[in-house]
C-alpha cells in the first residue's frame, strides 16, 4: 500500500547531540512537510518542500534543517537539540494540483517521538 | 496566531451518542479539513469542505461550514469506542497553501 513511513518511531538523543529523522513516501507526492507537535498541542509546521524548493516557516529556529535528496525521501536535522525540542515530529505529503485549486489533503506518517536527555 | 480554534477542548460521551465539535477561524479560507489523531500516532484525513460548500457527508460524519461566521462543525453520529481520538480542524488559504491546524478536541467515547 502507498504510504508515508517515518523512522525511527522513537528517538532518544542527548542534549546538544545532532539527530536526524527520516521520512519516505511511496505516494509520489510533490510536496513534503515537517511538523512539530508537543503534548496536547496542534501540529506546528516547521517547513515544507514543494518539489525541490525549500520553504521555511518564519518562526522555525535555525537549529532545524531539512534535506530532500529525491522525491521519495525527506530528512529533518536538528543540529543541537535542546530539552524544548522534545516532541512528536510528523512528516506529511500532498499532491499540489496547481492553479487556483488549493493543496489537496495531507497524508501523514506515524510520527517520530523525540526524547532529549 | 492560530488560525483554527476547536471547541470544546475535551468531550466525553457514551457509545451510540452523537458528538459535535466546532471550529472557528480568523481569515478567509479556500477549504477547511478535519483530521483525526489517535494517541501517539499520525493524523488521518477525514473530510474536506470547500469555501463554496455548506455541508458535506461521509459515512457517519457530517461537516458544515459557515463562511459568514468563519466557523465549521463536525458531527459524528452513533459514536463508537473506536472514535476515541483527538480531532483537529485545519484551514487552507487561497491557492496553493499550507495548512494551519487548530488546537484540537479530545473525544472520549465510553462503551
Residue-wise pLDDT tens digits, B8-25: 899 999 999 999 999 999
Residue from the list A40, A88, A103 with its beta carbon closest to the beta carbon of B92? A103
Question: Residues 55..94 of B with a Cβ closer than 8 Å to A: which?
Answer: 88, 92-94
More confident residue, B63 or B97: B63
Which residue in B43, B94, B95 has the most chain A C-beta atoms within 10 A of its own C-beta, making it the best mutation to test that interface? B43
User: CA gyration radius for chain A?
Assistant: 14
With CA atoms as reference, report the closest residue to B73 among B9, B21, B108, B32. Answer: B21
Q: Can you tell me the mean pLDDT for B57-62?
A: 97
Q: Can you tell me the mean pLDDT for A74-103?
A: 86
**Residue B4: its pLDDT value, please?**
66
**A110-to-A23, B2, B40, B69, B83 alpha-carbon distances in Å:** 10, 24, 8, 34, 18
With CA atoms as reference, report the closest residue to B11 among B79, B66, B70, B95. Answer: B79
**Residue B18: its pLDDT value, please?**
97
Q: How far apart are the first and last CA of chain A?
A: 36
Q: Can you tell me the mean pLDDT for B42-67?
A: 95
C-beta separation of B34 from B4 below 8 A: no
**Residue B1: its pLDDT value, please?**
39
**Residue B35: its pLDDT value, please?**
97
Query: Between chains, do A90 and B2 touch, taking CB under 8 Å as contact?
Result: no
Q: Can you tell me the mean pLDDT for A72-76?
A: 97
Q: Is the pLDDT confidence value at B99 over 60?
A: yes
C-beta separation of A20 from A8 below 8 A: no
Residue-wise pLDDT tens digits, A16-64: 999 999 999 999 888 999 999 999 899 999 999 999 999 999 899 999 9
Query: Between chains, do B40 and A111 touch, taking CB under 8 Å as contact?
Result: yes
From B95's Cα to the closest Cα of chain A, the distance in A is 4
For the ranges A46-50, A100-104, B14-18, B68-72, which has the lowest average pLDDT?
Answer: A100-104
Tracing cell 488549493 back to the chain, one arrives at: A102
Q: Considering chain B, what percentage of its residues have pLDDT values greater than 70?
A: 93
**Residue B30: its pLDDT value, please?**
86
Mean pLDDT of all residues in chain A? Answer: 91
Q: Is the pLDDT confidence value at A97 over 90?
A: no
Cβ–Cβ contacts within 10 Å for residue A74, how many?
Answer: 26
Which residue in B21, B41, B98, B103 has the most chain A C-beta atoms within 10 A of its own C-beta, making it the best mutation to test that interface? B98
DSSP helix/strand/coil, B82? helix
Q: Is the pLDDT confidence value at A1 over 80?
A: no
Chain A interface includes B30 (CB < 8 A): yes
Residue from the list A4, A42, A96 with its beta carbon closest to the beta carbon of B96? A96
Tracing cell 534543517 back to the chain, one arrives at: A65
Residue from the list B43, B92, B95 with its beta carbon closest to the beta carbon of A100? B95
Q: Is the pLDDT confidence value at A74 over 50?
A: yes
Q: Which residues of B touch A100 (CB under 8 A)?
A: 94-95
Q: Distance between CA atoms of A112 and A91, rounded to whole angstroms?
A: 9
**Residue A49: its pLDDT value, please?**
94
Amino acid at each position: 500500500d502507498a504510504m508515508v513511513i517515518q523512522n525511527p518511531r522513537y528517538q532518544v538523543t542527548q542534549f546538544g547531540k545532532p539527530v536526524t529523522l527520516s521520512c519516505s513516501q511511496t505516494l509520489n507526492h510533490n510536496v513534503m512537510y515537517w511538523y512539530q507537535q508537543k503534548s496536547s498541542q496542534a501540529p506546528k509546521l516547521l517547513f515544507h518542500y514543494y518539489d525541490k524548493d525549500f520553504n521555511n516557516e518564519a518562526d522555525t529556529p535555525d537549529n532545524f534543517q531539512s534535506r530532500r535528496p529525491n522525491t521519495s525521501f525527506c530528512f529533518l536535522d536538528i543540529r543541537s537539540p535542546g530539552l524544548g525540542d522534545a516532541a512528536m515530529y510528523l512528516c506529511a505529503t500532498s499532491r499540489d494540483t496547481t492553479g487556483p485549486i488549493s493543496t489537496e489533503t495531507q497524508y501523514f506518517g506515524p510520527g517520530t517521538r523525540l526524547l532529549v536527555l | 496566531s492560530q488560525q483554527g480554534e476547536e471547541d470544546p477542548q475535551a468531550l466525553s460521551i457514551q457509545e451510540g451518542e452523537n458528538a459535535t465539535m466546532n471550529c472557528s477561524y480568523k481569515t478567509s479560507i479556500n477549504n477547511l479539513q478535519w483530521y483525526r489523531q489517535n494517541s501517539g500516532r499520525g493524523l488521518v484525513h477525514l473530510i474536506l469542505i470547500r469555501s463554496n460548500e455548506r455541508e458535506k457527508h461521509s459515512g457517519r460524519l457530517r461537516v458544515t461550514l459557515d463562511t459568514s461566521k468563519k466557523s465549521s462543525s463536525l458531527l459524528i453520529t452513533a459514536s463508537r469506542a473506536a472514535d476515541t481520538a483527538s480531532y483537529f480542524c485545519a484551514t487552507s488559504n487561497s491557492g496553493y497553501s499550507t495548512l494551519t491546524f487548530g488546537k484540537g478536541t479530545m473525544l472520549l467515547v465510553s462503551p
